[in-house]
């Protein structure tokens, strides 16, 4: 490590490995990736889609964040997994491939980020993946008439449809269609909405997870002599040249190995922080970039004062309601029986068949709705007019425009094949929520809020890089979020009374929580008991003009520094539609091109 690298990447996760792969396509460019976790790219827990839950809470795989108590959620702490391994959270997510909408990305540009509209990101949304044609079994089960077979791509991440879709998935699609919410087009066109069967980041060749660790760090990339990857190595801070009269220039990073041995590694070019929305702010703050009051209290010298570091944190809050299924209806809860689980694992290991190699979650992207269905334009405007005082800045008004002026999907509904219990006050890990502890077999309807108004924060509480920062998602702090989510919970009650989904649910069967979402008061209680995040923390180092709360500019350079960028979900100005791995890959792909351009300038 005595040599100097052209680029040092802090974090070998989804964005970090994407960036490393693209930058080292030029053999004259040397790149170092420093990853705190280990290399688990050969682990069955990572590669087997159906074993995702087995990673949660394991120290070698998962950072396993618990929030500070959420005052509006009965003071529950909520848990979110974060990948502590090569590939980051792409190694332990649910592999859902959901694409952002045109309007949500156009809002990024409207907030002051030239080149970051939908058209500016669309080439990179196509670049990261190869989308395989749906198998005949999938078409027979759920139609997939919306799927555009011409949009295939040739990127390293493999995207495929399952052969395991069944009556539950079809009932879901048919129920939404009865409310005018059949899918309007291919989700990759940026304008479609409605119910559809999403694909997953699973390689159809061997039914294994396709993620940054295998897609962007495969054998060919590993063999590149200009790429060095350090695992189980913790970054303590970015090191700067602070010559008087100029902005601090990043010159390297201070790291320690797993034995605790510290050393400084130098760069002749840039340090690029790719540690994710909860830990990229941590790295900046440990390096002296952030709120003066916080840094002074921890005796960290202030290099760049920026009150926005670690602020503007957003997530996709999600409400989970489980319903006991009717006799004869399939539920994933059967895996509580060890014999069933072992049988399914045996099937997968011998033939790659069965649910352990599949993702069978169905989704629906729905514009602003209530118990009656999608709300009219007049109804939307009246709602926001009555809540004007809750919209405090330009960002709120930009999000408001998404609601009022378009068919923007405001909620993503998901049909999860098992029971879920998110009421726990002190979850040990995400696995605590997913373990089927109740005796009945259930399915769960999840209500995910695509564009929340509430904003949280994440900040260090110690100068020790080994101590996790304090994460406060601040769910439902803006009362408008409660109003919007409550209306969509009411629509869930409409859905479960709509055939054929109605026939999937046992008459008089148990629901969890045991509250019916038929009044706004009941919906509020469901939110308080069950809401958590959908593992999509973002926006904590926002890409915006500095005077409007920005941490990085439109070329992802950290304000007030030279030679320092951030590339990961923390730079999102606002949350996009849906599960964010697609957008993270696209951001990293675009960032690689920006960095290459700047190198030539």
Annotated binding residues, written as ranges, equal 235
3-class DSSP state of 372 = coil
CA atoms of 484 and 452, how far apart (whole Å)? 9
Q: Give the DSSP H or E segment for 448.
A: strand 442-449
Q: Using alpha carbons, list the distances in angstroms from residue 550 to 51, 104, 283, 302.
A: 39, 18, 17, 18
On the 0-12 / 13-18 / 19+ scale of CB atoms within 10 A, 262 is exposed
Tell me which residue of 206, 216, 108 sits closest to 157, measured CA to CA: 216
On the 0-12 / 13-18 / 19+ scale of CB atoms within 10 A, 438 is middle
Strand 411-416 to strand 289-290: parallel, antiparallel, or no bridges (unpaired)?
unpaired
Tell me which residue of 170, 106, 117, 160 sits closest to 590, measured CA to CA: 117
Q: Active-site residue 40, yes or no?
A: no
3-class DSSP state of 460 = coil
CA atoms of 364 and 261, how far apart (whole Å)? 50
Tell me which residue of 277, 212, 249, 290 sits closest to 20, measured CA to CA: 212
Binding-site residue numbers for FAD are 235
Q: What is the DSSP letter of 192?
A: -
Beta strands in 450-596 (DSSP E): 457-459, 470-472, 511-512, 532-533, 564-566
Backbone φ and ψ of 12, nearest 5°: -105, 45
Q: Which residue among 158, 179, 536, 548 is the active-site one?
A: 536
Q: Check if the beta carbon of residue 265 is closer than 8 Å to that of residue 259.
A: no
Cα–chain center distance at 105 = 15
Q: Using alpha carbons, list the distances in angstroms from residue 350 to 54, 346, 354, 389.
A: 20, 6, 11, 60
CA atoms of 392 and 293, how far apart (whole Å)? 24
On the 0-12 / 13-18 / 19+ scale of CB atoms within 10 A, 415 is buried
Name the residues annotated as catalytic: 536
């Amino acid at each position: 490590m005595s040599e100097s690298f052209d680029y040092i990447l802090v974090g070998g996760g989804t964005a970090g490995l994407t960036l490393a792969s693209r930058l080292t396509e030029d053999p004259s460019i040397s790149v170092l990736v420093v990853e705190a976790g280990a290399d688990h790219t050969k682990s069955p827990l990572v590669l087997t889609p159906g074993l995702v839950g087995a990673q949660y809470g394991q120290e070698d795989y998962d950072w396993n964040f618990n929030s500070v108590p959420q005052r509006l959620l009965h003071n529950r702490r909520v848990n979110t997994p974060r990948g502590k391994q090569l590939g980051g959270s792409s190694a332990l997510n649910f592999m859902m491939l959901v694409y952002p909408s045109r309007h949500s990305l156009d809002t990024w540009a409207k907030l002051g980020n030239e080149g970051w509209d939908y058209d500016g990101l669309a080439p990179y949304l196509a670049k990261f993946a190869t989308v395989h044609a749906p198998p005949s079994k999938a078409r027979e089960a759920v139609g997939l008439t919306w799927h555009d077979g011409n949009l295939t791509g040739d990127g390293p991440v493999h995207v495929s449809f399952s052969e395991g879709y069944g009556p539950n998935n079809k009932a879901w699609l048919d129920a939404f269609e009865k409310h005018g919410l059949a899918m309007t087009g291919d989700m990759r066109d940026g304008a479609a909405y409605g119910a559809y069967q999403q694909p997953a980041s699973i390689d159809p060749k061997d039914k294994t997870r396709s993620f940054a660790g295998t897609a962007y760090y495969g054998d060919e990339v590993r063999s590149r002599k200009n790429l060095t990857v350090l695992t189980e190595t913790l970054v303590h801070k970015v090191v700067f040249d602070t010559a008087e009269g100029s902005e601090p220039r990043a010159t390297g990073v201070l790291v320690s190995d797993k034995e605790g041995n510290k050393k400084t590694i130098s760069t002749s070019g840039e340090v690029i922080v790719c540690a994710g929305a909860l830990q990229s702010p941590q790295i900046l703050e440990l390096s002296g970039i952030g709120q003066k009051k916080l840094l002074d209290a921890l005796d960290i010298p202030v290099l760049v004062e920026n009150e926005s570091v670690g602020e503007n944190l957003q997530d996709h809050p999600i409400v989970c309601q489980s319903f006991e299924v009717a006799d004869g209806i399939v539920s994933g809860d059967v895996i509580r029986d060890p014999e069933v689980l072992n049988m399914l694992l045996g099937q997968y290991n011998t033939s790659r068949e069965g649910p352990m190699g599949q993702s069978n979650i169905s989704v629906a992207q729905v514009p602003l709705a209530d118990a009656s269905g999608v709300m009219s334009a007049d109804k939307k405007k009246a709602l926001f007019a009555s809540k004007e005082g809750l919209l405090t800045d330009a960002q709120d008004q930009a999000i408001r425009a998404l609601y009022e002026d378009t068919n923007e999907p405001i909620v993503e509904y998901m049909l999860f094949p098992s029971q879920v219990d998110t009421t726990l006050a002190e979850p040990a890990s995400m696995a605590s929520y997913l373990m089927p502890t109740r005796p009945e077999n259930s399915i769960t309807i999840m209500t995910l809020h695509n564009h929340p108004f509430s904003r949280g924060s994440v900040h260090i509480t110690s100068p020790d890089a080994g101590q996790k920062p304090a994460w406060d998602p601040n769910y439902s702090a803006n009362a408008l979020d409660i109003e919007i989510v409550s209306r969509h919970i009411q629509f869930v009650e409409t859905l479960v009374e709509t055939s054929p989904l109605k026939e999937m649910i046992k008459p008089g069967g148990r629901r969890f929580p045991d509250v019916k979402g038929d009044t706004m008061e009941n919906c509020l209680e469901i939110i308080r008991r069950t809401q958590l995040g959908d593992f999509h923390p973002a926006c904590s180092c926002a890409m915006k003009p500095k005077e409007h709360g920005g941490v990085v500019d439109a070329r992802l350079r950290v304000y007030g520094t030279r030679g320092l960028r951030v590339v990961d979900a923390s730079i999102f100005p606002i949350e996009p539609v849906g599960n964010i791995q697609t957008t993270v890959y696209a951001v990293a792909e675009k960032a690689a091109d920006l960095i290459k351009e700047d190198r030539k300038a």
